[in-house]
Copies of this chain bind each other. A is one copy, B any other.
Amino acid sequence: MDRQQLFDRIRQKGSYLCVGLDTDIRKIPSHLRNSDDPLFEFNRQIIDATHEYAVAYKPNVAFYESLGPAGWQSLERTLKYIPEGIFTIADAKRGDIGNTSSLYARAFFEQMQFDAVTVAPYMGADSVAPFLAFKNKWTILLACTSNPGSNDFQTIESRTTGRPLYEEVIVKACEWAGPDQLMFVAGATAPERIKRVRSLAPDHFLLVPGIGAQGGSLSAVSEAGMNKMCGLLVNATRSILYASDGKDFAEEAAKEARLLRDEMSSYLDRFL
């Protein structure tokens, strides 16, 4: 899916919602736990209930990997179940020396056919290049994350440029690829950083975690980050997935997703 197609979907749906499929075997409703493939069964019902309101799904690979080979099968089944025309992101935060990153890129782009993978920047250009080598795919590079630890290293200011590390990542990565291949992760918990990211990368899409359970504000994020092609994919996970732990979990997930879509729709009208 290219940038124009993604924007078209956002306009059609009035939504820039990404639903995180961080499906925790310990948190899914008890009546699902005895099914053959509980993670997939939960995801299937979540996808059925929310795909009208979402433009992207983002399974965090850890939740599947931690279950061994069976977990990888749940992930593959989930990916195949996501309807055509919805953007898919493997939240994997990989990054290794070049020949190794190539293998990760092939795993997520070829073997599993995700549209995008999240990548960690610490190891630099040659660790990211193998992902960017897939021209019709997307690399989503961590810039400023939404967790408390984002203040440990990402905000260290360079003696040479005065810029914090997350800005250095953006400036350098913009030399590696343009907005048709590269997105950045910018956490909702610090909207002032989203503003800085937007000024350094005016055309890139930003993947924004941290609203809902982590406390970020959708309104502040949208005001700080929206560009003329929306430029935002705002992720919600726990507030949707675990809206209820009963048999009505999918119905309640749909309500939460619809509420977010309605709010996003109003920001698209206001800021676009």
Contact = CB atoms under 8 A, between A and B. Distances in A.
Given A94-B93, A122-B120, A100 B142 contact: no
Given A22-B100, A145-B97, A147-B98, A124 B154 contact: yes
Interface residues of A, number: 56
Interface in A31-62: 60, 62
Interface in A74-108: 76, 91, 93-98, 100-101, 103-104, 106-107
A5 interface: no
A120 B107 contact: no
Given A104-B66, A124-B148, A60 B157 contact: no
B125 A152 contact: yes
A267 interface: no
Contacts of A98: 147
Interface string A145-179: 11111111110111110100100110010000000
